[in-house]
Amino acid sequence: MAKLSKSKQHLDFEDIADMYSFREKSLRLFFSDNNPEYFSSFVGYTPNEVLEELRYQISEVERDACLNLLAAIEALFRLDYAIRCEEKDKAEISRRFRDLFSEYQYRLPLEDSLFEERKNEPLVKSSVISYLKSAFKYRHWLAHGRYWTLKAGKPKYDFYELYTLALEVDKFPFKRMQ
């Protein structure tokens, strides 16, 4: 079996939360009159227009952070799958993954297979898996350019609820890289 070339560049949840916080604080400072360039940056803007632009910029930073969180969750699942297949672990889920590997290699479907395989694992709540599937509809919408009207799942997830989801997922019994 060819091993997956692992980049070791995937982000962890705390790094993503820190980046989101730094970017939001930076935007709030830039859009405040504490910014030495505030008046030259917003010449001709009304105070409401400045506030609307701030809200828009923060919403875009939040969407970027949500996409990063969901991508990091995907990385956890895919790395666990690869490690379990490559190490020939004796656990039941590892055996099921190896059976699936013969058909899919490293391209096992995320929602229909990797999420589903976790439902019967200890420490995994089926409600978290259901929520993950819904959140990944949002992830696909974000990742593919937001060109369609999102109908399935919630129309919008905020960063803090997805961060809470990520911390729940992090409790799953994943195999991790050394």
Residues of the chain with pLDDT under 70: 1-2, 152-155
Cα–Cα distance between 107 and 105 in angstroms, integer? 6
Q: Give the per-residue pLDDT at 89.
A: 81
What pTM value is reported for the model?
0.91
Q: 66 to each of 53, 92, 113, 141, how far by Cα in Å? A: 20, 32, 22, 11
Write the pLDDT tens digit of every residue in 103-120.
999 999 999 899 999 988
Q: Give the per-residue pLDDT at 10.
A: 83
Q: Give the per-residue pLDDT at 39.
A: 95
Q: Tell me, rounded to whole angstroms, the distance of Cα 54 from its chain centroid.
A: 24
Using DSSP, state whether 143 is helix, strand or coil. Answer: helix
Q: Give the per-residue pLDDT at 109.
A: 92
